[in-house]
Amino acid sequence: MTTIFDKIIRRQIPASIVYEDDLTLAFKDVNPQAPVHLLVIPKEPIPQLAQAEPSHQALLGHLLLVAQRVAAEVGLTNGYRLVINNGQDAGQTVFHLHIHILGGRPLAWPPG
């Protein structure tokens, strides 16, 4: 199923892209929940974490390292939170796997 993130990957709709490599893309969330709110996505359209497979092991690790790199590049030196919403109860709205990077303010715990 095509999602809005496929369209961002294909440059069919605009996004504020902050990082790209062969396997991943990172861009600003259009509805930020913190002063810094970025999304890191694989270019491969895995709908959600629950549908990732052992063959995705390296890609999943790469996504975390991209998140680490992007967080450092945007100056999140005081810390940040990575979030993956998986499925209905977690409030997932876009069914293309993505990691939220949230930072720039103290973040409450537990999340809602």
List active site positions. Answer: 98
Which of 39/40 has CB closer to ligand AMP?
A: 39
What residues pair up with 103 in beta bridges, in sequence order? Answer: 36, 80
Q: Does 94 bind ligand AMP (CB under 6 A)?
A: yes
* Cβ-contact 60, 52 below 8 angstroms: yes
- Look up tokens 């995705």; give the residue: 56
CB of 39 to ligand AMP, least distance (A): 6
What residues pair up with 81 in beta bridges, in sequence order? Answer: 102
User: Applying CB under 6 A, which residues contact ligand AMP?
Assistant: 4, 15, 29-31, 39, 85, 91-94
